Amino acid sequence: MEQVQVVSLKLMVSKEKNKVVFAEAGKDFVDVLISFLTLPLGTIARLVAKESDMQSVEVGSLSTLYGSVTNLDKDCLSADTCKEMMLQPRNPMEDCCRSLKLNIDDTEPTQYYVCDNLKECRHEISVMCSTFKNKKCSCGALLEKPISPQSSDVLGGFVKNNSSFMITDDLNVVPNSLDTMFSMLKKLGIEDMPSVEQMVVNVTKNQVLDLLKCSLLSKTVLTDVFLGKKLPLEKYELTSLSRNDFATVDSAQISVKVMYKKSDGKIVCAQGKEDFANFLLSFLTFPLGGVARLLDGCSSMGSVDRLYKSIIDLNEDYFKTKEVMDKVVDLGLAPQFKLRNQILPISESKAQSYFCYTNSYKSRRKIIHLTDFFLTPDYEDYSDCMLETCNTLDMVDPISENGSAKGFVKGPTMYMATDDLAVTQMSSISIMSLISRMNISLSDMEEKVVSIGIKEVTSVQNSYEIGLSILKASLTSTSALTNGLRHLIGKVKVEEDLLTKVKEEK
């Protein structure tokens, strides 16, 4: 029987309040918490939908967005791999997560594939390689021969082995110290040591999933998971969005037509070209830490912001390497996951550079047989040898093999999204059914064209960070479009009310 992995965690619990004061943990548990930040939003939506010791949960509008991908017609996808990229987005720090004692990310690790006809293609200047199976080589054969790196770096998590940390109930991670301990006790009004007791728990994989669920919804994560408190399912109020929430950066913009109710400003649906659909679908590939960084630590998601801010504030000395620290601080998309028309300014992790080494022998019948082939980070010149080669790699774009496609879905199809971000191909019948289900009078419907980007400029030259507003709203609300665009729709409603009042006065 396979041994169940656990991680030991010490809790200090207030007996009077039945609440975790703080936890004391080493490398293994803190690595787990940091790994949450590396998970793409699509992976999180998939994981929290599973049953564990706690019920399944939904993540704002992301769960609906994720579910709608499964129903996208393959004819509207830029490539066969696009649906896999959205439903199984890769972790940008999978090398660090692979060796975690408790790793809940069930996404398949990155694999490399070269041409089935490698013994011939290796005589070209470069060898075509893909991280997705069944792409085509320039020779016409499929790239489906698995090839592995000669040696794979296993970084062993994020922080050093001898590290010791204190963790608050809302996942604020700080180095272990007397000052911090007394500060925490004082903050909670605890003056008598007998009022707190120590509790040791062995954290299981199921409980790690519970921790992830609670971290998205609750500010008392450790208490909820380890003291058996009920998971808080109430919706957190979205903090108001202002111009100062985000850095203003010029970027591409996309035009979207929104249909909303005049009576209350609630958006029923929005329609746009493929760039609009790709903008929304790309959310699923964003790592949680990258989103927190985009929103300047103001995601409004449970304890995520406290966790994120405390981790990026950790001194370099606590991380395995400076490179690991830099990646955690600036978490970007996994390699090859950035769209060519990416609206939001999120970075892309740099892929490891490899060369393709092959070795072979010639039989008595003068037939060439490959004896060995692998990926290596180091180049060697074998130009004087016909049996050994070392080629540069020509990595195949998983979305667009010929470079024409810009995103997961393609035009000229128009796309629509509901308020909770269910993305589908445009259908008048579907819109009519939606209006009917919502019991909305057609006289209450209004349309407005808006531009989405980092900076949107209205007719009166007021700038709004529309793209980031929708992203932020999608994390906590099932009315992502209404909340993300409410300042625009609200302004329209006020202007209409004023116009009506003027007419009445006349």
From the list 256, 271, 255, 266, the residue with the least C-alpha distance to 430 is 271
SS percent in the chain: helix, strand, coil, step 5: 35, 25, 45
Whether omega for the bond prior to residue 412 falls within 30 degrees of 0, making it cis, is yes
- Phi and psi at residue 303, in whole multiples of 5°? -105, 10
Query: What's the total number of domains in the chain?
Result: 1
Is 244 inside any structural domain? Answer: no
- What is the structure's pLDDT at 366? 66
Q: Output b/e per residue, 301-331; b: 16+ Cβ within 10 A.
A: bbbbbbbbebbbebeeebbbeeebbebbbeb
Query: What are 350's two structure tokens?
Result: 């740099």
Taking each helix axis from N to C end, the angle separating 274-281 and 62-69, rounded to the nearest 10 degrees, works out to 120
Confidence of residue 489 (pLDDT cuts 50, 70, 90): confident
* pLDDT above 80 for 266: yes
State the chain's mean pLDDT as an integer: 86
Report the range of poorest mean pLDDT among 9-13, 159-163, 246-250: 246-250
Owning domain of residue 130: 112-152+350-395
Q: Output b/e per residue, 249-276; b: 16+ Cβ within 10 A.
A: eeeebbebebbbbbeebbbbbbbbbbbb
Is 132 inside any structural domain? Answer: yes
Residue spans of alpha helices (H) in 271-313: 274-281, 288-294, 304-312
**pLDDT single digits (tens) 164-222:** 999 999 999 999 988 888 888 888 777 777 778 999 999 999 999 999 999 999 999 99
Whole-angstrom CA distances from 53 to 28, 170, 222, 245, 304 are: 21, 20, 14, 36, 21
**pLDDT single digits (tens) 416-460:** 999 999 999 998 898 888 888 989 989 889 999 988 865 544 432
- Per DSSP, what are the bridge partners of residue 26? 164
Is 373 inside any structural domain? Answer: yes
The identity of residue 169, as a single letter, is D
* pLDDT above 70 for 492: no
Is 372 inside any structural domain? Answer: yes
**pLDDT single digits (tens) 18-75:** 899 999 999 999 999 999 999 999 999 999 999 888 889 999 999 999 999 999 999 9
Is 125 inside any structural domain? Answer: yes
Confidence of residue 238 (pLDDT cuts 50, 70, 90): very low
Q: Contacts by 50-53 with C-beta closer than 8 Å and gap 24+?
A: 50/209, 52/206, 52/207, 52/209, 52/210, 52/213, 53/206, 53/207, 53/209, 53/210
Burial of 298 (0-12, 13-18, 19+ CB in 10 A): middle
- What is the structure's pLDDT at 252? 63
Q: Are strands 388-395 and 126-130 parallel, antiparallel or unpaired?
A: parallel
Is 219 inside any structural domain? Answer: no
- What is the structure's pLDDT at 16? 84
Round to whole Å and give the CA distance between 90 and 334. 6
From the list 318, 310, 288, 331, the residue with the least C-alpha distance to 26 is 318
Is 82 inside any structural domain? Answer: no
Under 8 Å between Cβ of 450 and 256: yes
Is 41 inside any structural domain? Answer: no
Report the range of poorest mean pLDDT among 73-87, 261-275, 384-398: 384-398
Counting every residue, how long is the chain?
506
- What is the structure's pLDDT at 457? 42
Confidence of residue 122 (pLDDT cuts 50, 70, 90): confident
